[in-house]
Amino acid sequence: MKFLYLFTQASYGQSIAREALDMALATAAFDQQVGLVFAQDAIYQLLSEQNRGNTEKKPHIGVINALPLYEVEDLYFISEDCSSRNISPAMLVPHAKALSSTQLADLLRSADRIQSF
């Protein structure tokens, strides 16, 4: 079964992003195929360099960097979201792959289960 987790919100100020990452890891632990898409403001979670000084804004970059260790290798961001937020793809974690809006639509159609956060 193919699970797709769609992140659309910045993680700061709420725990839902961390809980969703934990859910994705738990799903992968049961030998399910897991993909994660970071769209809209969620793309900020993929920034390699994040401010770690404010504990209210604790980044999840450690968990995101560990995803390949749990065989979660399908990690995506939307190219247009980088452009609209003046973020270079080089600023994002290296294991994240770019998708166009068209490719995202295809990916969504191919998933058996979609969870949106």
> What's residue 68's pLDDT?
92
Domain of 19, in residue numbers: 2-116
CATH code for position 40: 3.40.1260.10
pTM of the model: 0.88
Q: Which residue in 49, 55, 63 sits closest to 21, CA to CA?
A: 63
pLDDT tens digits, the chain, 117 residues: what are they? 999 999 998 876 678 888 999 999 999 999 999 999 999 999 999 998 754 444 444 568 889 999 999 999 999 999 999 999 999 999 999 999 999 999 999 999 999 999 999
- 61 sits in which H/E element: helix 61-66
**Residue 109: CA count within 13 A, CB half-sphere:** 6
Q: Position of tokens 């270079």?
A: 88
Q: Give the chain's domain count.
A: 1
Hey, CA dihedral for 83, 114, 94, 19, is it positive or negative?
A: positive
Q: Give the pLDDT of residue 16.
A: 86
